[in-house]
Amino acid sequence: MAGQVRGRRILTAVAVAVVLVVGLVLAFQRSLIYFPDRSTPPSVSDLLPGAREVRLSTTDHLTLAAWYLPAPGGCTATVLVAPGNAGNRADRVPLAAALGDAGFGVLLLEYRGYGGNPGSPSEVTLLRDARAARAFLVDAGIRATSLVYLGESLGAAVAAGLAAEHPPAALVLRSPFTTLADAARAVSHVPVGPVLHDRFDVVGAVRQTTVPVVVVLGDRDTTVPPRQSRAVADAARAADREVVEVVVPDADHDDPALTSGPVLVQAVIDVASAGGARPC
């Protein structure tokens, strides 16, 4: 009898622990997914010569700051950068500078909740912010045939979702995961997918795109397993898309060679040209 009572107590304790863990994941999961630097960056003129701060208007009535580096005179090829889940736009200056030197215009999207912007990030709202960024560029006279979307990691999901809705000339996915649940399981080794509010199904979005795609990955990535990025490329191929897979040797997730290095920049040039958005 005592053994049965002890066993029931153990089972009850385990059940309570599971409920608590699930409750914590449900309540605080977005603070575990998004890691914004909420501070307002320095003046863009101090960091990225030729760029200016612009305002993006979302459909839910937020005004977001972003940085825009116009293409060289007479050119229109422009890269819309959908960032990953950490830092703010100041961290993407090396990427913007490298793309600008390659002859592109660049819009560094800043999500809500990041870089001094109001609001809180989620799957739905990040895509809303990306739509506002695209609308800004279109209103500035940049045609869809001159646009390239570049998504970094989590931003690859945002860029792929935007591309499925509003096709650009080409799509660049840097270190994409297959789904958020797969990425979370790779890091935590826990199957948290069923309790996640945000899905970020990159594979599903890529299958709906109609434009040339390049997947850029680091073969030493310890945040997004390279096999997931390759699976995204495979999904695009299976959907009969024009796909190029580019590997940056010995590069981890946030290594400069992968985030803004010449291999990444050349991949953007190549896929943009394939889509008809050749830079100057």
Per-residue model confidence as pLDDT tens digits over 209-234: 999 999 999 999 999 999 999 999 99
Same domain, 221 and 169: yes
CATH of the domain at 107: 3.40.50.1820
Per DSSP, the three-state class of 99 is helix
Residue-averaged pLDDT of the chain: 89
Domain membership flag for residue 87: yes
Domain membership flag for residue 279: no
Same domain, 172 and 252: yes
**Percentage of the chain modeled with pLDDT above 90:** 78
Same domain, 99 and 167: yes
Bridging pattern class, strands 213-218 and 35-36:
unpaired
Element (H, E) at 232: helix 226-238
- Judge whether 197 and 30 are in contact, CB under 8 Å: yes
Same domain, 29 and 118: no
Domain membership flag for residue 229: yes
Domain boundaries, position 13: 1-33
Same domain, 251 and 191: yes
Same domain, 62 and 185: yes
- Judge whether 115 and 40 are in contact, CB under 8 Å: yes
Same domain, 64 and 156: yes
Lowest mean pLDDT among 12-16, 93-97, 261-265, 271-275: 12-16
The number of residues in the chain equals 280
Domain membership flag for residue 200: yes
Same domain, 121 and 5: no
Same domain, 13 and 96: no
Domain membership flag for residue 262: yes
Same domain, 69 and 148: yes
**15: burial class by Cβ within 10 Å (0-12, 13-18, 19+)?**
exposed
Enumerate residues 6+ apart whose C-beta is below 8 A from 130.
80, 82, 109, 158, 159, 161, 162
> What gap in Å lies between CA 195 and CA 271, rounded to an integer?
37
Per-residue model confidence as pLDDT tens digits over 110-121: 999 999 999 999
